[in-house]
Structure 1
Amino acid sequence: MAKSKSSKSSAPAQAPPPPPPSWPVFKPPLPVVELYPELHPATSNIVLLSSFFPRSLCRDYVAFLKTLPLQTTPSRPKKGEAVRVNDRFQIDDPAFALRLWETTGLKEVVLENETIKDLWGGEPVGLNPNIRIYRYSKGQYFDCHYDDSNNLVLDSVPVKTTWTLLLYLTSSAEGCIGGETVFYPHDRKSAAEEIAVSLETGMLLLHKHGDDCLLKNQ
């Protein structure tokens, strides 16, 4: 039967996004030590901050993250994407991003530390609210890829992301084997040129992304 001219088609209503998790409080209050950013000796595109989270808080977050609905990514990627086999949870949570930025000492280090304050490609205003949790079990990995920059609006102001922030909650101290984040400075996977950053519980790793992103795998 043909549609009458007066009939209209409509898309089904989209379900509202899920509410953000009730993230554990930052206890003890952060930072627990004075934060000293270190440029990686091989490149200024990587900045390391040891003891960003204390071990006790890392344990709290590891326990909490086990309660989240992590999903295993498919081993066959979409066209143009890197092969990734890990367990993942992702959510937009501006409030948690603001907590990480304003109540951990990160904002002060990024804005005021003489070693790194001119690295960011503009005036730092905060963190991307897109929060991602990655968990790697034995045999899982994230193959070589680049991190893209993103255009966002924060507090009604158009902004662009320039750096990725990674926070490691476990390391060999908790029995983890492998798991290094490996960078390649010349856009090719080469064992002779790799820059491997070993896991350190509670360490923050920041690396440049977008046009200046180094090829990396995890």
Structure 2
Amino acid sequence: MRGDATKKQISLIFTGDEFREGISHIRKSLNKQNVKGSFFVTGRFLEDELAKSVLKKLYEEGHEVGPHSDQHLLYAPWEKRDSLLVTKETFNKDLTVNIQKLHALGIVNIDKFVAPYEWYNTHVAAWTKELGLSLYNFTPGLRTAADYTDPEMGNRYMSSEAIFNQLVNYEVKEGLNGFIIIIHIGSNPKRTDKFFNQLEKLMELLKDKNYKFVPLNEL
């Protein structure tokens, strides 16, 4: 969930399921800034041929690509995280199918996993390890994960401006050394204010503060 807190290094992770509209913009922004990101996508994400094509290009350009579950399952109840909504067998089958679809795309050497909804418990962590994968998540503190919300969600909704400003204020107070920052590749069409459009601005801001963007393996 966090790298070395003594170093001004940051990793960017991008997760995607049924909404994928930001994939080309994200690729363009990362390549322009010469930053490598890590992409974790579901099997459902790969049902879109354009998104699949861009993802393959990202992998060929040196960005990491890994699984996010095949069907974006919720592993544990929101209100009781130490319980389970899936069996080990269901977990293994779903994640294996996801990985097989990535292998079919030419993506190999998969050793990392980000759980769907970024929500899991010790059972899921153990199952992940048994499959030879390392479980990653974003670093708590920032609100970039709220970029999936839309205005119909009421008080849960956060505009891109609010998300960006929260990050800026948090960095001033606490710093972001070793942070894993998450951005969703897409969001419900009800959200027209897409946070991935702020990606280049975010990278420029943090570079100006002497942060270095590194792959997860280097964090």
Question: Higher relative contact order at CA 8 Å, sep ≥6: structure 1 or structure 2?
Answer: 2
TM-score, structure 2 normalization: 0.30
Length-normalised TM-score, structure 1: 0.30
Structure having the higher helix fraction is: 2
Q: Tell me which structure has the larger Cα radius of gyration.
A: 1
Q: 1 or 2, which has the higher strand percentage?
A: 1
